[in-house]
Homo-oligomer: A and B are copies of this chain.
Amino acid sequence: MSLKYAILGLLADQPQTGYEIQKSFAGSVAYFWEAKFQQIYGELRRLEEQGLVEREAAPGRGRQQRKVYAITPNGERALDAWLDTPSPLVPVRSEFLVKVRSFGRLPRERALARLREHRRQNEERLEAYRAIQARLAESGITDESEIPAPLLGPYLTLASGIAYEQAILAWCDRAIALVERRAPAD
């Protein structure tokens, strides 16, 4: 269900094509939701049938097939109603943590290799967030409480992503140190 509203949320910012929506996902929604092209195109078709989005006229000189979608008033109502709805607390669903739970079975060095790899991956993601943060900072926000409404959401989710990655990195360091101190004989 979230994909539907994630798309409506992006279209509420500005009309876009399915391709652009997928790119928008990659640039801002990426770390808390992702979707493939195929899924987005299918969802857009369904949203259009429901009258929540519409294809804009004047699809544009040259490019054939290009379909620009915009949110409709009904779409905005549906989005706003959903926004003010409780969200269930879901499990993290981390394949990595499923592995960690059985790390006692792994030779110490192999467990360390997996932990270091995980740390590096999350470090890269944190750097990507820092880059987005730098771009946001350039848009001239001096006081946090003065953030314009359209940027409030992206600002908060970015802060959440950064806090999350920092917590993971700190945990990785603790876990690596702990495993390193263990007796090498497994």
Binding site for B on A (CB under 8 A): 1-2, 5-6, 9, 12, 28-34, 79-80, 82-106, 110, 113-114, 117-118, 121-122, 125, 144-145, 147-154, 156-157, 159-160, 163-164, 166-168, 170-171, 174-175, 178-179, 181-182, 186
Number of copies: 2
Q: Which residues of chain B are within 8 angstroms of A30 by Cβ–Cβ distance? A: 91
The A contact surface, by secondary structure, is: helix
Q: How far, in whole Å, are A94 and B90 apart by their CA atoms in the complex?
A: 8
Q: Which residues of chain B are within 8 angstroms of A110 by Cβ–Cβ distance? A: 83-84
| Distance from A31 Cβ to chain B, minimum over Cβ atoms (Å) | 5
A106 touches B91 (CB 8 A): no
Q: Which residues of chain B are within 8 angstroms of A113 by Cβ–Cβ distance? A: 84
B29 touches A98 (CB 8 A): yes
| Distance from A98 Cβ to chain B, minimum over Cβ atoms (Å) | 5
Known: A12-B105, A101-B157, A182-B145. Contact between A92 and B31, CB under 8 A? yes
